[in-house]
Amino acid sequence: MATRRITKSSINWLALSERVPEHQRAQYLAFKAKSDGYLRRVMSNPEQAPAIDWAFYKSKVPVAGMVDEFQKQYSALSIPYPPDTIKPQLDSLEKEIKSDIEKFKSESNTRIAEYKKQLAHIASLIPYDQMTMEDYRDAYPEDALDPINRPTFWPHTPEEQIDYVDKDAQPHH
């Protein structure tokens, strides 16, 4: 598998910078500095390793055949580029996250539509400071005091009513 020379960072740092929260800015800048330093070190090295001058070594090494043996072993040496086994996992994770995002967006749009209906209903009502008790009962029948059908006692909280049962209370033995 052939490798390709890295010539520039494939990260859009400007777009990433816009998404970094203010409290994580220092970590982001440290990460960017490390990445830039790595890219500079890679670019400072030549793309190909320097060629070995075998003739020079043959003239300097007194042991016969030693340089030829090294040259043969060196040319036979092939270090394969490691296979990418992580990319499929990342692709499936990315698809899963994108589907979760789309689901959240559709659910959010449903909630937004419901909230807009509620806002429209509230906007259509008489302002609270101009309502009478009857207007409030008509607008909010479940919250309004109804002394005939649901009589309550002051302060009209559930705990103060005659039929109230404490759910957290321990049973008596």
Residues 74 and 90 in one domain: no
167 part of a folded domain: no
The answer to whether residue 173 sits within a structural domain is no
- H/E segment holding residue 96: helix 87-124
Q: What is the rounded average pLDDT of the residues 146-164?
A: 81
Answer yes or no: is 41 within a domain: yes
- Let me know if residue 17 belongs to a domain: yes
Could you tell me if residue 4 is inside a domain? no
Q: Are residues 78 and 89 in the same domain?
A: no
21 prior amide bond cis, ω within 30: no
Residue range 141-160: average pLDDT?
A: 81
Lowest mean pLDDT among 39-43, 104-108, 131-135, 159-163: 159-163
Residues 93 and 107 in one domain: yes
94 in the same domain as 111: yes
117 and 132 within one domain:
no
Task: Pull the structure tokens for residue 127.
Answer: 């302002």
Using CA atoms, how far residue 44 sits from 5, 30, 38, 52, in Å, is 12, 21, 10, 20
C-alpha to C-alpha distance for 114 and 102, rounded to whole angstroms = 18
pTM for this model (two decimals): 0.42
3 pLDDT higher than 60: no
Residues 72 and 95 in one domain: no
Number of domains present in the structure of the chain: 4
- 132 plus 158 within the same structural domain: yes
The answer to whether residue 169 is domain-embedded is no
- Rounded-to-integer distance, Cα 59 and Cα 70, Å: 14
Q: What pLDDT score was predicted for residue 77?
A: 87
pLDDT exceeds cutoff 60 at 63: yes
Percent residues over pLDDT 70 in the chain:
93
Q: What is the dihedral of CA 58, 59, 63, 65, to 10 degrees?
A: 30
Domain that holds residue 134: 128-162
Residue 6 resides in a domain: no
**Do 18 and 36 belong to one domain?**
yes
Q: Is position 171 within any domain? A: no
